[in-house]
Amino acid sequence: MTATAPGSTAAHTPEQADTRQIIRPYGDTTGDGMVQLSFTLPVPAGKRAEAAALQLAEKMGLDPASVVHSKAMGPDFTFFIVYGRVNHLIDYAGIPAPPEREYPLLTAQEVNLAIRSALGRRLVVVGACIGTDAHTVGIDAILNVKGFAGEKGLEYYREIHVVNMGAQVSVEELVARAKAENADAVLVSQVVTQRNAHLHNTKQMAAAFHAEYPTAVGPGMGRPLLVVGGPRFDTVTADELGVDRIFGKGTTPSEVASYLVHVLLPRKAAQ
Amino acid sequence: MTPQPKLDLDPEVVRTARRLAARAAEPIIEMARTHTTVSVERALLRLAGLAGADADGRPWVNHLADAVRDQVGLEHGVALPVWDALLTGPYPSLTELAQDAARGRVRFRLPAGDDAEAARAAARAAARAGIDRIDRRRAERDRMLREVGDPPHPWIYLIVATGDIYEDIPQAQAAAREGADVVAVIRSTGQSLLDFVPEGATREGYAGTYATQENFRLMRAALDDVSRELGRYVRLTNYASGLCMPEIATLAGLERLDMMLNDCMYGIIFRDINPRRTFIDQRFSRQIHARAGIVINTGEDNYLTTADAVDAAHTVIVSQLLNERFGHEAGLTDAQLGLGHAFEIDPSLPGSFRLELAHAQLVRELFPNAPLKYMPPTKHMTGNIFAGYLLDAFFNLAGMMTGQSIILIGMMTEGIHTPWLSDRDLALENVRYVRNACGDLAEDFVPRPDGFIAQRARRVLAESVELLERIADDGLLNAIADGTFGVTRRPPDGGKGLDGVVERADGYFNPAIEILDDEDPHAAATDEAAHAQEEVPA
C-alpha cells in the first residue's frame, strides 16, 4: 500500500486547512479512493487485452488497478470491470455552486395544477418547424406524447393545449394560427443550419410576431411567448434573435413546461 | 402447442369480448375498404418496381402519385392513369415516366374503353410481378427455416440503433452470435412523420436508422450470413408505421423482413397521425404482411408508458382484441399476431410482480396461438443501472413463467443512451441465466384457483368487456377522440396526413388490392410447404 495515510494529504497545510476540503472517492474507508468502472476494448479477450485494460486504468489515474472481470464479447471485443484506487484529489470547497435554473423543475402534475389554479383554462402552445426545415425531431420530442428522454411531451399535460403544425410551416401561417388559437406560447424548432437558415428563419419569425403585436408589453402581455429550440443556437443570444428564450440540445419536455409556467403564470401560482 | 389454461376464464366472457371487438372494428373496416390514401397508391407503384429518388431524395413514387393526384385525382387510383400514360407514351419503364412527370411533362388522363382495358391489364401484370416477388421471398424464408433451423420460443428480441446501417450490421451480427433470435433496427426519430420513404443506404439518423429498401436488403443479407453460420434463422424486424405504413410494409415483403411493428392505433395516439389515414393504411399494410408471411408486432406496451400500468391494464386487452380483429380481417393468421404487452408496473407498488404475472398470464390465455411479444420495463428504469438489471431479471422471469413467445431484451441503460455493445451482452447474459435456470417453469406455475392472480386477471377481463361495450356503442373513432387509449385525445379529422385520404370513386382500380382482397394470402406458401414435403425422401 502507499505510504500516505488516507485523509492526511499534502493539501492539509496549516494556512489552507480552513479553506480547502480535500475529498477522494469512498469505497469502505475514508480516503481509500476506490472506484469501479466498466468498459469495452475492441480487441480479442486474453492476457494482452487485460494488460491494455490495466494500462487504460493507469492512464485514467487508477493506481493500483485490478481487472476483476473480463469477458469476450464475440471474437473482436472484450468487456472489463476494473477496480482501482484513483490518485486524483478534489477540493470540494473549490467547486463553485452550480448556477441555479432560474425556474424550478416541475412534474406534470405540478404544471397542470399551476395552470389550473392560475389561469382557469388550458395553456395554449402552438409549435412548428418553420422555413424549409422538414426535421420535426425537435418539436416532436417536446410536443408529441411520445416525448423524449423518458419524459412525455407537452401533449401529455392535461392543462396544455398543443397545436403542432408540423414541418415546413411559413411564418405567415404560424402567426395566423397563433392568433387564431390565442396562443400563450409559440415553440419553433430549427434543426437544419445550412447557410445559417436557422438564424434567419428565427429572426424573421420573431420580427413577424413583433409586427403583428405592436402594442405588446412582453411575453404573455399582449403577445405570445416566443421560444426557439435547436442544436445550433449556442453562438447567439435570445435578444439577438428577438425571441424570449433559446433551448439547446438535450432539452426535455418538462424543462420547457416548467419554463412556460414560470414565465407565463403569475408568480405566486407557479410556486 | 396450445398453452394450458390456468386462470379459469369464463369462455362466454371471452366470446363476448371478441364479439364486441368485431362490432367495434366493423365500421372502420368498411371505411378502409371504401377509401385509399397517397401511401396505398405509392405502395402499388413500389410493388410494380418503381424505386429511386431525385437528386434531393424525393422518391419517384411520390413524384408520380402527386402528378396523378394534381391532374386527375386519386379517387380512381393511380393505376389507370399511370399505366395508360406508360402504354401510350414513349416510356420504357415507370422510372422514365415518373421522371418526366416530375418535370411536369406528362398529361395524365382517366382512360376509357379499350384504353382502360389495356391499362388495367398492364397494371395487373405489374402488380402480379410484385406479389410474385413477395411470394418468392416468403418461400425463401420457409426454405431457410427448414434448412438452417427455426429457434424455439421464446425468441430473444434485440434492438440495434446506431443511425448508420454499416455500424448496425456488425452489431446485429454480434447480437445474433450472442443469442438474439430477432434483430430490430430502430428507425430514426421522426421517420413516421415523413410522407415519403428515404432512399438508399443511410449513415445518419437520430437515435435510429432510416427504414429504406436498401437498408432492409443489406441487413437481411448480413443476417442470412450469420444465420447460416449459427445454424439458426435470425429474424429481422422493422417498423410499418407512420405516414408510409403501406409502402414500408411492401418494401418489407419485397426484401424478406420477418416481423414488422404494426399497431392499429400507435401512430394515432403517439404520433398524432390522422385516425382515418392510419386505419386505411393499416388494412393494406396488414394484407401485405399476411401475404409475405410477416409476423406483426403490436404496440400495446406503449399505452402503459403514458397511462398507469395497473389502472390501464384493460386498455391493453381491448387494444389487443381490436388488433386481432383487424389482423384477422386483413388475412393474418394467429401465428402472425405478435400482440404486445409490457412489464411496466411501478416496482415500488406492493405485489407488483404478482400483478405483472396476472396480466401476462391473462394475455397468454386469451391469445393461446399468438406469438406474444413481451416488452421490458422502461418507465421505471432510472439511471441506477444495477437496480435496472434486477428489474430486467424479474421481467425475464415473468416471461418464462407465463410462456411468452417473443421477449424483448431489457437494457439496464434504458433511458440513458442507445444500447452499447456491453449493455446488450449483459442483457443477454441476464436472459440466458433466467432461461437456463427456469425455462420450463411455465409447466409448474399454476396460480392458486381463485387466488390473487386469478382474480386480478378476471377483473381485468371484465373491465375490458365493459370498455369494449362502450367502444362498440360509441364508435371506435369517438373513443379515440375521447382519449380512451393512452390518455391522449385524437379527433377523427385531426392529426397529420388527413389530406392524403381519398374516398374511392365507382370504378376505383388498384390491382394490388384486387389480388390481396380476392386471394388466400397463404395459398402459395401452403403449396410450397406441401411441395417441399413431397421432396423429402420417405
* Cβ–Cβ under 8 Å, residues B285 and B192: no
Instruction: Look at strands B35-37 and B501-503 and give their pairing.
Output: antiparallel
Whether the CB of A159 is below 8 Å from some CB of chain B: the reply is: no
In a domain, B108, yes or no: yes
* Cβ–Cβ under 8 Å, residues A57 and A65: yes
A166 shares a domain with A120: yes
Comparing A6-15, A59-68, B29-38, B140-149, which segment has the lowest mean pLDDT? A6-15
Whether the CB of B489 is below 8 Å from some CB of chain A: the reply is: no
In a domain, A5, yes or no: no
In a domain, A14, yes or no: no
DSSP code, position B53: B
Residue B341: strand, helix, or coil: strand
Q: Please give the tally of structural domains in chain A.
A: 2
B514, pLDDT greater than 80: yes
In a domain, B56, yes or no: yes
In a domain, B75, yes or no: yes
Q: Do B206 and A136 touch (CB under 8 A)?
A: no
SS (H, E, C) A126-186: EEEEECCCCCCHHHHHHHCCCCECCECCHHHCCCEEEEECCCCECHHHHHHHHHHCCCCEE
In a domain, B452, yes or no: no
Whether the CB of A42 is below 8 Å from some CB of chain B: the reply is: no
Whether the CB of B488 is below 8 Å from some CB of chain A: the reply is: yes
The question of whether B474 is a catalytic residue gets the answer no
| Residue B258 amino acid letter | D
Residue of B168, B258, B373, B392 marked active site? B373
Q: Do A137 and B190 touch (CB under 8 A)?
A: yes
When CB atoms are compared, the residue of A73, A145, A164 closest to B421 is A73
Residue A33: strand, helix, or coil: coil
A212: containing domain: 108-270
d(CA B366, CA A239): 60
In a domain, A7, yes or no: no
When CB atoms are compared, the residue of B270, B425, B488 closest to A79 is B425
A88 shares a domain with A26: yes
Comparing A74-88, B214-228, B519-533, which segment has the lowest mean pLDDT? B519-533
In a domain, A16, yes or no: no
What's the confidence (pLDDT) of residue A2?
41
Give the residue, B138 or A144, on which the prediction is more confident. B138
* Cβ–Cβ under 8 Å, residues A114 and A261: yes
For residue range A173-231, what is the model confidence (pLDDT) as tens digits?
Answer: 999 999 999 999 999 988 766 678 888 899 999 999 999 999 998 898 999 999 999 88
B79: containing domain: 38-128
In a domain, B294, yes or no: no
When CB atoms are compared, the residue of B190, B270, B415 closest to A135 is B190
A184 shares a domain with A116: yes
A47, pLDDT greater than 50: yes
For residue range A147-186, what is the model confidence (pLDDT) as tens digits?
Answer: 776 788 999 999 999 998 877 788 999 999 999 999 999 9
Cell 421522426 belongs to B190
Closest-CA residue of chain B to A40: B422
Q: Do B189 and A141 touch (CB under 8 A)?
A: yes
* Cβ–Cβ under 8 Å, residues B79 and B43: no
Q: Please give the tally of structural domains in chain B.
A: 1
d(CA B436, CA B425): 16
In a domain, A13, yes or no: no
Please say which residue of A30, A60, A94 terminates a domain: A94
A114 shares a domain with A207: yes
In a domain, A102, yes or no: no
* Cβ–Cβ under 8 Å, residues B518 and B131: no
Q: Do B174 and A74 touch (CB under 8 A)?
A: yes
Comparing CA positions, the residue from B60, B55, B56, B118 lying closest to residue B84 is B118
Query: Which residues of A, range 121-150, sit inside 8 Å of B by Cβ?
Result: 134-137, 140-141, 144-146, 149-150
The sign of the torsion formed by the CA atoms of B82, B88, B92, B98 equals negative
A88 shares a domain with A116: no
* Cβ–Cβ under 8 Å, residues A188 and A228: yes
A131, pLDDT greater than 90: no
A161 shares a domain with A27: no
The question of whether B157 is a catalytic residue gets the answer no
* Cβ–Cβ under 8 Å, residues B199 and B59: yes
In a domain, A155, yes or no: yes
A255 shares a domain with A134: yes
* Cβ–Cβ under 8 Å, residues B320 and B341: yes
For residue range B361-417, what is the model confidence (pLDDT) as tens digits?
Answer: 999 999 999 999 999 998 888 889 999 999 999 999 999 999 999 999 999 988 777
SS (H, E, C) B369-414: CCCCEEECCCCCCCCCHHHHHHHHHHHHHHHHHCCCCEEECCCCCC
Q: Do A77 and B488 touch (CB under 8 A)?
A: no
Least Cα separation, residue B26 to chain A (angstroms): 28
Peptide bond into B198 cis (omega under 30): no
Q: How many CB pairs under 8 A join A and B?
A: 60
From chain B, the residues in CB contact with A150 under 8 A are 378-379, 381, 415
- ipTM confidence score: 0.79
d(CA A226, CA A202): 10
Centre a 10 Å sphere on the Cβ of residue B390 and count the other Cβ atoms it contains.
13
| Residue B10 amino acid letter | D
Closest-CA residue of chain A to B425: A73
Instruction: Look at strands A218-219 and A225-229 and give their pairing.
Output: unpaired
A200 shares a domain with A77: no
d(CA B192, CA B210): 10
For residue range B187-214, what is the model confidence (pLDDT) as tens digits?
Answer: 987 788 899 999 999 998 877 899 999 9
Chain B interface test: which of A132, A154, A155, A162 (most B C-beta within 10 Å): A155
Closest-CA residue of chain A to B208: A137
A123 shares a domain with A55: no
In a domain, B70, yes or no: yes
A229 shares a domain with A191: yes
A129 shares a domain with A90: no
When CB atoms are compared, the residue of B206, B381, B422 closest to A137 is B206
Q: Which residues of A are catalytic?
A: 146
| Residue B29 amino acid letter | I
A124 shares a domain with A63: no
SS (H, E, C) B81-116: HHHHHHHHCCCCCHHHHHHHHHCCCCCCCCCCHHHH
The CATH number for A210's domain is: 3.40.50.280
CA distances (Å), origin B169, targets A39, B45, B172, B221, B305: 21, 29, 5, 10, 30
From chain A, the residues in CB contact with B496 under 8 A are 166
pTM, two decimal places: 0.83
Q: Is B372 left (phi over 0), alpha (psi -120 to 50) or beta?
A: beta
Closest-CA residue of chain A to B175: A74
The CATH number for A78's domain is: 3.30.30.60
In a domain, A247, yes or no: yes
For chain A, give the mean pLDDT. Answer: 87
